[in-house]
Amino acid sequence: MSRSGKVNLACAAMVLTSLLVAVVLYPHLPDPVPTHWDLRGQPNGFTPKPWGAFVSSLEIGGLLLLMLIIPRISP
């Protein structure tokens, strides 16, 4: 396996790990999930539980796919 293949596999493993952590911790999260805090550390922004738990994993996965696709379509 080439070095880039190993890197891609490691990145995919990290995405799957983040999804697994979100699934395991999902029952313990509050609804809504705090997503923004003020300077005193008080939450002042909230997201519904499904989005709050999985949006980071979806963003990481989307960025990985983008990084895999860009070299193939780049002129």
Percent of the chain with pLDDT over 70: 100
Mean pLDDT, the chain, integer: 92
- What would the two tokens of residue 27 be? 């029952």
Q: Give the whole-angstrom CA distance, residue 45 versus residue 42.
A: 9
If the chain, 75 residues long, is cut into consecutive pieces of 10 residues, what is the mean pLDDT of each piece?
87 95 94 94 94 91 94 86
pLDDT on residue 2: 83
pLDDT on residue 39: 97
Per-residue pLDDT reduced to its tens digit, 2-14? 888 899 999 999 9
Cis peptide upstream of residue 32 (ω within 30 degrees of 0): yes
